[in-house]
Structure 1
Amino acid sequence: MSDKPRKRLPLRFLTLAEIVAVVAVVVAVLGYWDSHRERTQESREKALAARERQVEARANAMKQAFLMTGAPEGSGDRIRLSTLRPEQVIQTQTIWFPREIRGPSVETTGNPRLEVSWIEDGLRKAKSKEGRVPVGVLTVFIEDGQTKTDRAIYQVGYSLHSRTLRKAEVDLDGLSLGRRGVTGDLQAAADTLWAAR
């Protein structure tokens, strides 16, 4: 090995132009990072706002939705109808049964219900021990001080019980929603569903 002294690289200072260029690159990188972070934050806020709008739209749709429930009363000879939401108050109802079960419609005022006496003769003629009867229901109700209407098809559950030397006893079992927002003739809709059962 030789003892030659190593050459030192000359020490060089950056020029003002090079310093400005390095600072410009650093500023550009920081600006890009800041704008990227800002865009990411904006997209998060937009997504959150969109979710909030969807939740609010669903809540408004549920608020406008009308749904009845029915609970048997007494010994199955009546179903008391009520709204799922207490701020909806039923005023009147027109109820259409299939013509084979009952000819004319039934109207109620301030006492929403279904009575077995309205349809028991028709159900005895149908001779099904149990089943469901489609009914068209036009409901006028008040919500938030406004009068509104709902047109729907419900299914009324029933059962027949044979008795010795007497007509079969008919019990109403309950009520379930078939279809909401029905347009057209509710009588025809009930007839069609009954014929297709």
Structure 2
Amino acid sequence: MSDKPSAKKRLPLRWLSLAELVGIVAVAIAALGYWDSHRERAQTDRERAAAEQEKKAEAKAGALKLSFLMTGTPEAAGDRLRLASVHPEQVIQTQALSFPRDVRGDAVQTTGNPRIEVGWLEGGLDKALRARDSNGGARPPHGRLPVGIETVFIEDGQTKTDRAVYLVGYSLHSRVLRSDKVELEGLSLVRRGVGEDLQAAVDGAWARQAPAPAKP
């Protein structure tokens, strides 16, 4: 007579003690606290980074807003450009204007009347363009003349200085038995924050405009 298969042994059940339950609850609470602290710290870091980025953007926008920049408005049928700061709180006091040496050898000084007059450059520009036109071809009717402008201005009660290179837009109009009439059209910024040698920066900009030598 065969023996009946023995029944599987069941592991004895054991109720957790109160100390063990307290330990498990403590671990769960600690884990939840760590997760909540980590999430709060990450949120704080994100908010701090966003605030710093916004602060930098505001500072950059403020610096750009306060940068000295001029416009030139034609007057008297192009015989003069009236210069003015883009920001009305920046009051221009004096200016020294440097043209390419080929056009004019000395700087023009102004006080309290910011402008560029065609008489300051017309004759020299005609000579400089003729010297460049070695092939005797027709010169372009429009051009841009670099000019360095050192401006002393008042802002928030403080005296400041700006050195920059601008381009003066002009057009040429032929005249009988006389050099072409130069008409000033406008002003555009090329470079700001120029060092002490503003004349060298202007001459360099003018040299880069020179046409490439004709091929033999």
TM-score, scaled relative to structure 2: 0.81
Q: Is the 8 A contact 2:85 2:91 kept in 1?
A: yes
Is the aligned partner of 1:136 residue 2:163? no
> Who is 2:178 aligned against?
166
**Alignment counterpart, residue 90 of structure 1, candidates 73, 89, 92:** 92
Give the secondary-structure state (helix, strand or coil) at the position aligned to 1:183: coil
Q: How many Å separate the matches in 2 of 1:124 and 1:95? A: 19
Q: How many Å separate the matches in 2 of 1:77 and 1:52? A: 46
Q: How many Å separate the matches in 2 of 1:171 and 1:134? A: 15
Greater displacement, 42-51 / 80-89: 42-51
Q: How many Å separate the matches in 2 of 1:58 and 1:180? A: 16
Which string of whole-angstrom CA distances, capped at 9 and with x for unpartnered residues, describes residues 15-72 of structure 1? 2022112211221121122111111111112112211221232034224411111121
> Who is 2:120 aligned against?
118
Is the aligned partner of 1:187 residue 2:199? yes
Greater displacement, 103-112 / 13-22: 13-22
Q: Is the 8 A contact 2:66 2:87 kept in 1?
A: no
Amino acid at match of 2:95: Q
Q: How many Å separate the matches in 2 of 1:29 and 1:77? A: 80
> Who is 1:29 aligned against?
31
Q: How many Å separate the matches in 2 of 1:192 and 1:45? A: 48
Q: How many Å separate the matches in 2 of 1:166 and 1:120? A: 12
> Who is 1:5 aligned against?
none
Greater displacement, 139-148 / 22-31: 22-31
Q: CA RMSD in A?
A: 2.0
Within a 5 Å distance, the mapping from 1:38-77 to structure 2 comes to 38-77=40-79
Amino acid at match of 1:134: P
Q: Is the 8 A contact 1:124 1:160 kept in 2?
A: no
Q: How many Å separate the matches in 2 of 1:86 and 1:10? A: 91
Is the aligned partner of 1:150 residue 2:152? no
Task: After TM superposition, give the deviation of residue 176 of structure 1 in Å.
Answer: 0.7
Give the secondary-structure state (helix, strand or coil) at the position aligned to 1:177: strand
TM-score, scaled relative to structure 1: 0.88
Q: How many Å separate the matches in 2 of 1:114 and 1:162? A: 21
Give the secondary-structure state (helix, strand or coil) at the position aligned to 1:192: helix
* Identity score, percent: 64
Task: After TM superposition, give the deviation of residue 13 of structure 1 in Å.
Answer: 4.1
> Who is 1:196 aligned against?
208
Amino acid at match of 2:70: M
- May I ask how many residue pairs the two structures share in their alignment? 191
Give the secondary-structure state (helix, strand or coil) at the position aligned to 1:98: coil
Q: How many Å separate the matches in 1 of 2:163 and 2:178? A: 38
Q: How many Å separate the matches in 1 of 2:39 and 2:57? A: 27
Which blocks of at least 5 consecutive residues in structure 1 are unaligned?
A: 1-7
Is the aligned partner of 1:99 residue 2:101? yes
